[in-house]
Structures are given as structure tokens and as C-alpha cells.
Amino acid sequence: MSAVWIPETFRDRPYAAAHFARIVQWAQTHHPFYRRFHTDITRPLPVITRAMVQEHNDLLLNGHPGLGHTSGSTSMPVRVSWQPGRGTLEAEDTARLIRWYGGPMVHMKIVALATHVANDHTLEVDSPLDVQIAFIKDQHARRGAVSLISYPTNLERLCRHLLERGETLPFIRRITAMSEAYDEHMDDLLRQAFPNAVPIVTYSSVELGMIALRCPHNPDNYHIMAHKLGVEILDAAGNACPPGAPGQVVVTDYFNQHSTLIRYALGDLAENAVCDCGRIGLPAITRIAGKMRGLLRRADGSQMLFTSLSSSFRDSPEIRQFQVLQEQIHRFTIRAVPRGTPDLAPFEARIRARFIAEFGPETQLAFNYMDSIPRSPGGKYFAAICAIPGVTL
Ligand SMILES: [Zn+2]
């Protein structure tokens, strides 16, 4: 037995416990960031936040040159460096993913060229949507490409643009959504715009590479790349969440001694899951959500992911943008931007019924219609904000 404190999630998993202890011990001896923040490795180790990494980024790099990573998914860049050979693990995981989904296909990428090598089958993600569609058609015509790789936020824009043009791209057979949190409503949207494409979803970050891959047999679940990463789902008090309860995603990389990340909170939310596919022997998580989608609070104190309510808004033709503020357990303000000048009574009735079903008969809703919903000071757009005094998420 080692003297290193082991998180609850890993205690009954010998491989995870051994690798966690090994990297913690190594970091305490060799890494200045952890000598500073992990003062006693025999006691519960603090979670490392993105803000801490940003504030002490040079200390975390420990003399290694930071790769100029800025992801398409975050406005808060973190500079990281991987030890030699670490990239090989990513190549292996990519191969694993392709194997799970039936083998390689000729592909194209619409990605941030700041972090991806530009070549004859890549396009910058900031390109106008008409340029993206022309690129996809050209790649198919010239190279026979049938597989498209991009970010969920870009795929969403692309789908909506195609549907507004009354167009579909049936020749695409596979769509890989990478890097950002993928909302379940994307499955429907992709099916409409790309009717013959199988969506592949990876949960990854520039700091950690592939974190989890969507199960090809049960698309609700994502199998964790547990051979290289330890993933914990923690509640606000730092305890491991049981399956079904959303919590912070906290990740430890076993194989990076450059910008080592131990118990690193990415800022995303997810739930532990047990995948019943019976074919992939890796632990699973589900309902991964970026922080911007938010959490609401039930009367019993439990948290719920806003994604389970958001379809009621998204599927409402009367509005084009929305935001939910929870001011008290049973009091909400719904901000919405009407689409034209619709009759809003049916919208309000549907939303009221949905909230009462979820939060109880005493639920009160106020509707506040505006021309546009402001972004937060940090530039992010929050679909749901829990603003109950004294409650922090
Ligand atoms: Zn599975």
C-alpha cells in the first residue's frame, strides 16, 4: 500500500489507483507546481482549476515550451506541453475509435488551423458557411471524402444553414464531433442535414487529448480512456457522485511529466454511468455538458442538467433565443427573443407545463421578452443560470 491518498473513485480499481499514486508521487518529487499545491499527498488532494493553471501556467510548464494551444471551444487558453511519446497514446485512441465504428473512411476536417496542421483536406473553422459547404462538396468530388470532422458548435451552424437552404448532404457517411461538449439534440439536427451519416462523438480537450469516446452500441454513454486517464465526477463538496447525479469532470493524466495534470477540473459536467453494451470493458460516463449549459436546482437540493429541459425551448418555433434564470427553488424568469411577432400564449403554456412537471405545482414563471440576450462579461452565453442566493455550483 502506498502512502498516497487515493480518490474514492479509484480505490477499488487497482490500475487506476496504482497509476494515480505513481504520478502524484513523481510530481511531488519533481514538479514545482505540485510541490506548491500538493503539500501533503497523504491527505485529500485539491482539485486543480483552469484558473489556477492560467495563473501559474509557467510553473505548470516547468521549463518546457508551451504549445500555443487555443481551442475552438474555450475563450480561456491554457498552455500545455506533452512529454515525448504522449502523442502516441492519442494516435492509439484514434485508431481504437475508428475500429469501434467500422474502419477508416476518406475524411476532411473543418477545424481551427491554429491547432491543426493545414493540408489539402483541412479548412479553417472560421470560414463562412457557404465556403464550408463548397469545401465539403469539393472534397467529395475530388478525393471521394465521405467523412467530416469538426466541432459541435460549427456542425450545429452548418446543419442549420443547410436546412435553411433546403439542402442535405447525403453523401456524407460519418461525422466526427470533436473537442467540445456535444448536446444530445445534435443527433437530430445531424440526421436532418446529413441523412446517411453516423455521428461519432469524442470528448476531448487540448490539455488531455481524448478523454472519452461515445459507445458505438449505446450512444447515451461515453467510455473513458482509462488506460491513460483517471476520470472522477465530483459534487460541490468534492465527493464522488453516484450514477445519475451530475458533477464536475475532474481528470488525472497518468502519462505526462511536462505540464502534468492531476485532479484537473475541466469546467465540464457529466454523470457516472454503467454501460450495458457488454463489449467495451472501460468505465463510462454520460450526459457530458459544457459549463455554459448550466445546472438547475430541485427542491430536494439535487442538481439537474439544464439539457433535459432545453429541448422544450429549442423546439418552440415562437422564439429564437432563450435563457432561464432560477431565482428561487420554485421561481424562474424565462428570457426569450421572439421570432417575428408570434402568439406567445402556446409557448408560455408549454413551458409552464414542463417546469411544473419538473419542479412541482408551486412553480412560478415570469416571461421577459427582449430583442437579444446579453452574453456574460466573459463573452460566453449561458442558457441557464442558477441564481438562488447562497447557492453556488
Ligand atoms: Zn458501451
Task: Give 213 Cα–ligand 1 centroid separation in angstroms.
Answer: 9
Confidence of residue 377 (pLDDT cuts 50, 70, 90): very low
Q: How far is the CA of 269 from the centre of ligand 1 (A)?
A: 19
The whole-model pTM stands at: 0.73
Measured in Å, residue 307 CA sits from the centre of ligand 1 at 22
For residue 268, the CA-to-ligand 1 centroid distance in Å is 21
Shortest CA distance to 236 belongs to which of 350, 391, 125, 101?
391
pLDDT at 55: 87
**Greater confidence, 9 or 306?**
9
Give distance in angstroms: CA of 182 to centre of ligand 1: 17
Residue 323, pLDDT > 90, answer no
Between the CA of 200 and the centroid of ligand 1 the distance, in Å, is 13
240 alpha carbon – ligand 1 mean position (Å): 21
Q: What is the mean pLDDT of the chain?
A: 88
More confident residue, 327 or 194: 194
- Percent of the chain at pLDDT exceeding 70: 90
The CA angle 265-187-302, to the nearest 5 degrees, is 45
**Could you give the residue ranges of the DSSP H alpha helices within 69-198?**
86-100, 129-143, 152-164, 185-193
Long-range contacts: 320-326, Cβ < 8 Å, 24+? 321/372, 321/373, 322/373, 322/383, 323/373, 323/382, 323/383, 323/384, 323/385, 324/294, 324/296, 324/383, 324/384, 324/385, 325/384, 325/385, 325/387, 326/296, 326/297, 326/384, 326/385, 326/386, 326/387, 326/388
Output the pLDDT for position 195: 98
Q: How far is the centre of ligand 1, averaged over its atoms, from the C-alpha of 256 (Å)? A: 27
148-160 average pLDDT score: 87
Q: Are 284 and 215 in contact (CB under 8 A)?
A: yes
CB atoms within 10 A of CB 319: 19
Q: How many angstroms is it from 211 CA to the middle of ligand 1?
A: 15
Which domains are delineated in the chain? Answer: 86-291 (3.40.50.12780), 295-386 (3.30.300.30)
Q: What number of helices (H) and strands (E) belong to the chain? A: 10, 18
Of the candidate ranges 45-59, 60-74, 304-318, 379-393, the one whose mean pLDDT is the lowest: 379-393
* 389 pLDDT more than 70: no
Read off the pLDDT of each residue in 123-138 and give the average, rounded to a whole number: 93
**Residue with the larger pLDDT of the pair 358 and 146:** 146
CA of 161 from ligand 1 middle (Å) equals 33
Residue 99 C-alpha to ligand 1 middle, in angstroms?
Answer: 14
Strand partners for 40: none
Measured in Å, residue 215 CA sits from the centre of ligand 1 at: 5
Q: Report the separation in Å between the CA atom of 229 and the middle of ligand 1, taken as the mean of its atom positions.
A: 18
How far apart, in whole angstroms, are the C-alpha atoms of residue 289 and residue 42? 32
Q: Give distance in angstroms: CA of 276 to centre of ligand 1.
A: 6
On the question of pLDDT at 88 being above 70, the answer is: yes
Q: What pLDDT, on the 0 to 100 scale, is given for residue 121?
A: 96
In the reported structure, the alpha carbon of residue 370 is separated from the centroid of ligand 1 by a whole-number distance in angstroms of 43
pLDDT at 205: 82
Please give the pLDDT value at position 292. Answer: 47
Residue 392 has pLDDT above 50, yes or no: no
Q: Which long-range contacts (CB under 8 A, 24 or more apart) does 64-72 make?
A: 64/258, 64/259, 66/259, 68/114, 69/115, 69/206, 69/207, 70/112, 70/114, 70/115, 71/112, 71/115, 71/179, 71/205, 71/206, 72/111, 72/112, 72/115, 72/125, 72/151, 72/153, 72/154, 72/179, 72/180
pLDDT band at 297 (very low <50, low <70, confident <90, very high): confident
CA of 141: how far to CAs of 23, 119, 128, 154, 371, in Å?
49, 17, 20, 22, 42
